[in-house]
Structure 1
Amino acid sequence: MAQINNITQNEEKVSVGLLTPWIKGTLAVDDNFLRMDVPNTIILGLIGTGMRKNKTPIDSISNIYTNTEYKIWKMILGAIIAIFGFTNISSSFLTGVLLMVLGIFIIGTGIQTVFSYENMGNTKSIPFPFYEADRVQRFESHVSEIVEKHYIDKNK
């Protein structure tokens, strides 16, 4: 089997919400399993509602990829709230600024980096904030290498 010596490359701690970067999930891979422990959140990622755990054997993974998704309706809603906040700054400065900030954050939640993989014909996808794109893509690359080495070793 393929051996990866650097343990830190095998695991990534990734934020799951735009507004709560301290709430992190763990993506881990070794020669046998892909493991994900990702908190579930609601209301723009502010409230934790449990944990989504997944352990998938490497030999059942057939495709790994990441992509950037744009949730247009969230972005439009955020823009409307931000514009509404901007127009209300003259009447109530604090309310206007709060609405603008809320609108900007809602726009930000509309941009996601999604880690996906196929397991026996079923696609599993986990969205992350856009600013975690580098970590998620680095992890995807590492998982792809391990899966490729696994299939090469299996077919020898």
Structure 2
Amino acid sequence: MSPLREAGEIAIGRLELRLVTDKSELLAIMLATWGSHSMMIGLHVYDVAEIDALGLYAPDGSTAALASWTLRGENAYLCALHSLKPGEGIAIRMLDEVVAAARKAGAGRLKAMVTNDNMPGLTFYQRRGFRLSGLYLDAIDAYRSIVPTIIETGYKGIPIHDALELEIVL
């Protein structure tokens, strides 16, 4: 194992998981990357400001990752997952923490949604066992009519129109 990989694993292990009570940082990230702090999953709108959030924090207090999720019936819904230190495995740890919290809450499945442009997100979730469970054509266009601040182009300049739902059995 390379020294860089070992250092990353030590850093990940030293991260502290906490409930996020002040969501201002998460909301700012959502506005900057998505144009809104509301997310649509399974054609239901969730306001990240109003649902549970978890954070991973470095020993110096800096934020490493944030995630927002909620339980609805027997399903948990991952509304946002942001690693502030990409490429270090922190997003994987954050997802693992959300999975554990969803299981503890009694969820049978965890669902997530990505837009048609989000190739990195689609890859990330599938590599972690998520399977495609729905395609919502023109969903983002329709949602943008309600929340006009949602970005129109995303990854590599791809126009955003559709939503893909993924899920994993817990």
Q: TM-score range by the shorter chain?
A: under 0.3
**Structure 1-normalised TM-score?**
0.26
Which has more helix, going by share of residues?
A: 1
Which protein shows a greater Rg? 1
Higher RCO (C-alpha under 8 Å, 6+ residues apart): 1
Comparing both structures, which one devotes a greater share of its residues to strand? 1
